[in-house]
Structures are given as C-alpha cells and as structure tokens.
Amino acid sequence: MTKFKRHTTEEMNNWEKTQATELAKIRASQHHLIYNLVAYVVISIIEYWLAEISKS
C-alpha cells in the first residue's frame, strides 16, 4: 500500500469516527428539544386550565 493510500484510508477512518460522534450529539440535542417542546405544551395547557378554573 502506498503512503498516499494509507494516509487517505486513515483520514477516512478518522472522518467517519468524527461524523459518528457528531451525529450522536445531534440526535441527543434533538431528543432534548422534543422533551422541551412537550414540557412547554404541557405547561401551557395547565396554565390555560388553571385560568379557566379561576375565571381570569
């Protein structure tokens, strides 16, 4: 194997590892975003319900 071929293979392996790590971070942040959205909607519904009960 030539030096160039070995170098490009190593670089591709490093790139794939980096991509996998970054994709895992993106997926985790998407999950947190969904959890935050659900929490916001639930809080809004509770606030609306409490406002209706208190007639304000």
HSE of 26, CA atoms in CB hemisphere, 13 A: 6
Question: In the prediction, which pLDDT does 1 show?
Answer: 76
Question: So where are the chain's domains?
Answer: 1-55
> Residue 10: CB partners within 8 Å, gap ≥ 6?
none
DSSP conformation letters of 1-56:
--HHHHHHHHHHHHHHHHHHHHHHHHHHHHHHHHHHHHHHHHHHHHHHHHHHHHT-
- From CA 18, how far away is CA 53, in angstroms rounded? 53
Q: Is the pTM of this model over 0.75?
A: no
- Tell me: the pLDDT tens digits for 5-49? 999 999 999 999 999 999 999 999 999 999 999 999 999 999 999
